[in-house]
Amino acid sequence: MRQTLHHFHGGVHPPELKELTRNLPITPFKNRGKVVISLNQGIRAFNRPIVQVGDSVVQGQKLSECFNPLSVPVHAPCNGTVIAIEQRPFTHPSGLQSPAIVLQASGCGPTPSKELMAIETLLKGITDEEMISRIRMAGIIGLGGAGFPTAPKLLSGTQQSIETLILNGMECEPRITCDDRLMRERPEQIIHGIELMNHLLQPKEILIGIEDNKPEAIESMRKAAANSKVPIEVVRCPTLYPSGGEKQLIQILTGKEVPSGGLPHQIGILCQNIATAHAIYPAMMEQPLTHRVVTVTGSGVSHPGNYEVAVGTPINELLEECGCDQPVAVTVGGPMMGFSLKDLNSPITKTLNCLIVEPEVPPVKTAPIRNCIRCAACSDACPANLLPQQLFWATQARNFDDAEQLHLFDCIECGCCNHVCPSQIPLVDYYRHAKGVLRNQQQEKIKAEQARQRHEFRDARIQREKEEKARKLAEKKAALKAKEKRQPSAGENGEKKEKQAAIEAAIERAKAKKAARNAATEQDKE
Amino acid sequence: MVSKMVPHNSSSTTKEMATVIFAMLPGLFALGWIFGPGVWIHVAIVVPTAMVAEAAILLIRGRNPINELNDLSAILTALLLAASLPPLLPWWMTLLGTLFAIILAKQLYGGLGQNPFNPAMIGYVILLVSFPLEMTSWLPAAGIQGEPLSWTAASQVIFGTGPTTVDTLTGATPLGGLKTGLIQGLTLQESLLKLPNGLLAGPGWEWINIAFLVGGLILLFTRTISWHIPLSVLGGLFLTALIFNLIDPNSYATPLYHLLSGGIMLGAFFIATDPVTASTTPMGRIWFGVGIGVLDYIIRTWGGYPDAVAFSVLLMNMFAPLIDHFTQPTIYGGNREARP
Ligand code: SF4
Ligand code: SF4
């Protein structure tokens, strides 16, 4: 038993509101309509489709190629026909469009057997490289939030020595219950995934962190862990938002802090979400990640629940199934960190864990936003131990460089400061905006640098060409002079020839002069 | 506009101000009991004046006055001023102080949250510098000596409408008397004896300070303020007083005397803790408080004024940004270079 748990600074206790869905089992959602597979899987690089309109595809078929090492391919979640490859609304705070493959669903492939194969049999003859490549080819990315691809994370883990493998089952955001259900219903598959990662990373210890508001999940995971040959410890952690933030969880379990701007593997720790672990076992069986569990909650639906949904399902189709028959406002993700959805046609993505559906009412009069009274409630609550009030003053005054000095980029956008601010200031909005501006500035700088290099290169080329021309001219002149010198020795009967030569030379000279003039004007033009 | 329904712990500036106002009541009642109804007359002057002044300026600035008046901060500033004034100060001085506090010290800087100096203390100090005699004339502690001042007498003095005048009633505060005695070359004991009813900290004042301490504890328990500032103000004063008292008990009063005299409890719990003008980092708040405590002792003991909460608070207000700058907490993950 782990004796000491550590604390992180600040944190808040928002109402959990998990009761609505925490006891509802995972229900499969059958696609009948369209499926929109976005080629933008949360990474800047887009995939290139390898199917064409009219092709029929089967469940699990790879639909795209990816070239960026940090991206993963996408797969068909069901049988069907490609009916379009076009721009579609994407599930993103900005509501931007993204290229997508649109399928008309026509049924499902065979359901994989529920029996789990023993790890030893499974891994017979498979190298580590092959394992990582299968994980990548199955399209696995972190299912907990940021969506960082799992394969490169594991790869960097194999290259460093990882002491602690942490599995994040905290699910600290209010309302969300999908990980809770996975841990209660499919602990064996999660444990299998952990064993596979253990095989790759060979850590000294494996810890599963679960908040104490999920006693059933703790129980179920403990039972499954006890059956495993690998020592896996399930750690019960006090409920405190945002304990499920990667950095906070690492601090709680190990007392270590990820260096600012660094990654956990630099301090010998690798952290994976339990839903990601759950997806790794099928990946080894070469079944790609095409479905995920999504919590649908809120008073805008009559059948809230935890649905296992195909990635790519348009959100409005899922909502219809959940009994949503009124205009609604949808928040994607948890109430603390999620964003409001612009277009209900946007698809379910791999990182989407929760939809909060509330009836769309005329905007209620919320408490007015007041001036900051410098009460420091926000800095007392900030888990990154920043000074949100000072960040706010800096970003409000558009002193973005000052904000950077105040460690803007260490802000994890958890929203604790918003939660406690008595003046109701939407602080995180300011930080997100400032981060965006600074990132753009950075991009601009890179672009300017590239432009400068291009310009210098061009100048150098022109200079080189000029020199080349001048050299050629000089050579010609020299050749002419040599010829002139040679002329007198041509003999007396060469008088006529001499004359001719003189004329020719004159012509040559005129030509050369003209050429020089031309060159000069050309130079001027340039 | 908040873009989505974010769960909020439903704290609000209005609620916090209301709690502080509520917590001032014990102290105000103690003042009223000890020094007569003058305090309440002041309250009746300052609160409407503050609200009208704030509303007027908000209108001029093109803001909706209702939206901002209901944060209650103007009322709180007014009450803090009323609690600091001598109970029989002429009404127009009180009015003037309030106007200075609200208009000059608060609204001209941009309103709530923007002012670098505590508005009530600015109002107080301007009055103190302009009318030193009136501002240091305190009543003998009537509540203790039997003979409470009547409402009529109090209002006659304040509004200058009757035979009772300030000279017949008032005297120096114990702190002032103590200082005069010490300057005249008397020892501490002798000076204290010369004062009427020289109890622990001068007659009546200990009760006022205890009452404000009670209010302060309410603020601590409702988590309206954190312990950093009050504890460090009182700690700073106590330790400095202790050191000098140990060096020369004949010339320097005991720490307990200092803790229970003048406006120190009001200052430590209600004035120094004004978040707008205090330091905002945890370590900064401690330095800020210690600074006030020590300065208070220095000015009380060697300065030209009998009490010094107002000056010490304003001086430390001036240093608050600097303190903030040097007391940035170590962020999660250490203090590495900020990254783009
Ligand atoms: S909680 Fe709000 S009002 Fe208080 S210091 Fe932070 S930003 Fe300012
Ligand atoms: S959103 Fe950023 S500044 Fe606010 S509490 Fe979280 S980490 Fe701190």
Using the beta-carbon criterion (under 8 Å), do A419 and B9 form an inter-chain contact?
yes
Distance in angstroms (rounded) separating the CA atoms of residues A308 and A111: 14
CA B72 to ligand 2 center in whole angstroms: 28
Ramachandran category for residue B281: left, alpha or beta (phi over 0 → left; psi -120 to 50 → alpha)? beta
Contacts of A442 in chain B (CB under 8 A): 340
Contacts of B332 in chain A (CB under 8 A): 8-9, 247, 251, 257-258, 260, 383-385, 410
- Cα distances from A464 to residues A314, A453, A459, A471, in angstroms, run 59, 16, 9, 10
The residue with greater pLDDT, B308 or B202, is B308
Give B268-325 pLDDT, tens digit per residue: 999 999 999 999 999 999 999 999 999 999 988 887 776 688 999 999 999 999 999 8
pLDDT (0 to 100) of residue B314? 94
pLDDT at A475 over 90: no
What tokens does B21 get?
Answer: 């106002």
- Does A513 lie at the interface with B, CB-CB under 8 angstroms? no
Ligand 2 pocket, CB under 6 A: A 381-384, 386, 388, 411-417, 427-428, 431
The count of C-alpha atoms lying within 13 angstroms of the C-alpha of B183, restricted to the half-sphere facing its C-beta, is 13
Using the beta-carbon criterion (under 8 Å), do A442 and B340 form an inter-chain contact?
yes
Contacts of A258 in chain B (CB under 8 A): 332-333
- Cα distances from A384 to residues A10, A50, A394, B7, in angstroms, run 8, 44, 18, 20
pLDDT (0 to 100) of residue B338? 38
Distance in angstroms (rounded) separating the CA atoms of residues A193 and A225: 12
Tokens 């890179």 sit on residue: A446
- In ligand 1, which atom is closest to the CA atom of A427? 7
Report the 10 Å Cβ neighbour count for B102. 31
Residue range B257-263: mean pLDDT, rounded: 85
Report the 10 Å Cβ neighbour count for A178. 24
pLDDT (0 to 100) of residue B181? 54
Helix axes A427-486, A495-525, angle to 10 degrees: 170
Contacts of A423 in chain B (CB under 8 A): 12-13, 113
Using the beta-carbon criterion (under 8 Å), do A405 and B338 form an inter-chain contact?
yes
- Does A168 lie at the interface with B, CB-CB under 8 angstroms? no
CA A366 to ligand 1 center in whole angstroms: 17
Distance in angstroms (rounded) separating the CA atoms of residues B47 and B85: 14
pLDDT (0 to 100) of residue A314? 92
Residue range A22-27: mean pLDDT, rounded: 91
Q: Is there a contact between B168 and B149 (Cβ–Cβ < 8 Å)?
A: no
pLDDT (0 to 100) of residue A526? 46
Distance in angstroms (rounded) separating the CA atoms of residues A264 and A459: 46
- Cα distances from B126 to residues A94, A382, B52, B98, B311, in angstroms, run 53, 39, 20, 10, 11
pLDDT at B172 over 80: no
- Does A259 lie at the interface with B, CB-CB under 8 angstroms? yes
Q: Is there a contact between A242 and A412 (Cβ–Cβ < 8 Å)?
A: yes
Q: Is there a contact between B46 and B94 (Cβ–Cβ < 8 Å)?
A: yes
Q: Mean pLDDT score of chain B, rounded to an integer?
A: 82
Pairs of CB atoms within 8 A across A/B:
149
Burial B40-56 (b: 16+ CB within 10 A, else e): bbbbebbbebbbbbbbe
Helical spans, DSSP H, in A239-358? 246-254, 274-284, 315-321
List, in order, residues 6 or more apart from A103 with CB less than 8 Å away: A34, A35, A36, A37, A57, A76, A78, A80, A81, A82, A83, A312
pLDDT at A198 over 90: yes
Distance in angstroms (rounded) separating the CA atoms of residues A69 and A182: 29
Distance in angstroms (rounded) separating the CA atoms of residues A349 and A326: 23
- In ligand 1, which atom is closest to the CA atom of A371? 3
CA A252 to ligand 1 center in whole angstroms: 26
- Cα distances from A238 to residues A9, A22, A215, A245, in angstroms, run 14, 18, 11, 14
Give B69-108 pLDDT, tens digit per residue: 888 999 999 999 999 988 888 889 999 999 999 999 998 8
- How would you class A83 by CB atoms within 10 Å of its CB: exposed for 0-12, middle for 13-18, buried for 19 or more? middle
Helix axes A178-185, A215-226, angle to 10 degrees: 40
- How would you class A137 by CB atoms within 10 Å of its CB: exposed for 0-12, middle for 13-18, buried for 19 or more? middle
Query: Nearest CA to A241 among A497, A66, A415, A17?
Result: A415
What tokens does B245 get?
Answer: 């008292």
Tell me which of A412, A425, A431, A432 to substitute to probe ligand 2's pocket, judged by most ligand atoms within 8 Å of the beta carbon: A412
Whether domain A126-340 has CATH 3.40.50.11540:
yes
Backbone angles phi, psi at A110, to 5 degrees: -65, 140
Using the beta-carbon criterion (under 8 Å), do B338 and A387 form an inter-chain contact?
no
Cis ω for the linkage preceding A89 (within 30 of 0): no
pLDDT at B63 over 70: yes
Q: Is there a contact between A130 and A217 (Cβ–Cβ < 8 Å)?
A: no
Distance in angstroms (rounded) separating the CA atoms of residues A33 and A317: 8
Interface of B with A (CB under 8 A): 1-9, 11-13, 15-16, 67-68, 71, 73, 110-114, 226, 275-276, 278, 280-282, 285, 324, 328-340
- In ligand 1, which atom is closest to the CA atom of B13? 3
pLDDT (0 to 100) of residue B114? 87
Q: Is there a contact between A100 and A36 (Cβ–Cβ < 8 Å)?
A: yes
- In ligand 2, which atom is closest to the CA atom of A415? 1
- Among the bound ligands, the one closest to the CA of A385: 2
User: What is the dihedral sign for C-alpha A291, A293, A298, A299?
Assistant: positive
Query: Nearest CA to A287 among A490, A493, A449, A76?
Result: A76
Chain B contact probe: residue of A342, A371, A408 with most B CBs at under 10 A: A371
pLDDT at B340 over 50: no
Q: Which residue CA neighbors atom 5 of ligand 2 most closely?
A: A382
Q: Which residue CA neighbors atom 7 of ligand 1 most closely?
A: A389
Least confident of A206-220, B30-44, B262-276: B30-44
The bridge status of strand A354-359 relative to strand A291-297 is parallel
Interface of A with B in 385-404 (CB under 8 A): 385-387, 389-390, 404
- CA closest to A386 among chain B residues: B331
Q: Is there a contact between A82 and A100 (Cβ–Cβ < 8 Å)?
A: no
Helical spans, DSSP H, in chain B? 13-35, 38-60, 65-69, 73-84, 91-99, 119-130, 132-135, 142-145, 151-159, 166-169, 174-183, 188-194, 205-221, 228-247, 255-259, 264-266, 282-302, 309-326
What tokens does A428 get?
Answer: 């995180």
Least confident of A502-516, B55-69, B223-237, B276-290: A502-516
pLDDT at A398 over 50: yes
Helical spans, DSSP H, in A40-173? 119-123, 128-137, 150-159
Kindly report the pTM of this predicted structure.
0.81
Using the beta-carbon criterion (under 8 Å), do B113 and A373 form an inter-chain contact?
yes
Contacts of A261 in chain B (CB under 8 A): 333, 336-339
Q: Which residue CA neighbors atom 7 of ligand 2 most closely?
A: A411
End-to-end CA distance of chain A: give it in Å, rounded.
78
Interface of A with B in 301-320 (CB under 8 A): none
Distance in angstroms (rounded) separating the CA atoms of residues B329 and B310: 29
Residue range B10-31: mean pLDDT, rounded: 91
Distance in angstroms (rounded) separating the CA atoms of residues A210 and A214: 7
The CA distance from A155 to the nearest CA of chain B, in Å, is 24
Contacts of A411 in chain B (CB under 8 A): none
pLDDT (0 to 100) of residue B339? 37
What percent of chain A clears pLDDT 90, i.e. is strictly above it?
A: 41
End-to-end CA distance of chain B: give it in Å, rounded.
28
- In ligand 1, which atom is closest to the CA atom of A373? 3
Using the beta-carbon criterion (under 8 Å), do A331 and B5 form an inter-chain contact?
yes
- Cα distances from B248 to residues A180, B139, B177, B187, B272, in angstroms, run 68, 31, 20, 11, 30
Distance in angstroms (rounded) separating the CA atoms of residues A370 and B281: 21
Least confident of A141-145, A199-203, A264-268, B187-191: B187-191
Tell me which of A258, A413, A425 to substitute to probe ligand 2's pocket, judged by most ligand atoms within 8 Å of the beta carbon: A413
Chain A contact probe: residue of B1, B3, B6 with most A CBs at under 10 A: B6
- Does A373 lie at the interface with B, CB-CB under 8 angstroms? yes
pLDDT at A515 over 90: no
What tokens does A67 get?
Answer: 């070239």
What tokens does A213 get?
Answer: 């508001």
Least confident of A217-226, A502-511, B155-164: B155-164
Give A43-64 pLDDT, tens digit per residue: 556 788 889 898 989 888 999 8
- Does A374 lie at the interface with B, CB-CB under 8 angstroms? yes
Residue range B9-26: mean pLDDT, rounded: 90
List, in order, residues 6 or more apart from A251 with CB less than 8 Å away: A6, A7, A8, A257, B332
Q: Is there a contact between B144 and B204 (Cβ–Cβ < 8 Å)?
A: yes
- In ligand 2, which atom is closest to the CA atom of A418? 4
Give A419-462 pLDDT, tens digit per residue: 999 988 999 999 999 998 998 888 888 888 888 888 888 888 88
Residue range B40-67: mean pLDDT, rounded: 90
What tokens does A240 get?
Answer: 């405190």
Q: Mean pLDDT score of chain A, rounded to an integer?
A: 86
Find how far residue B282's CA is from the centre of its chain: 22
Using the beta-carbon criterion (under 8 Å), do A410 and B337 form an inter-chain contact?
no
Using the beta-carbon criterion (under 8 Å), do B113 and A371 form an inter-chain contact?
yes
Interface of A with B in 11-50 (CB under 8 A): 12, 14-15
List, in order, residues 6 or more apart from A314 with CB less than 8 Å away: A33, A34, A35, A36, A344, A345, A346, A347, A348
pLDDT at A368 over 70: yes
CATH 3.40.50.11540 domain position(s) in chain A:
126-340
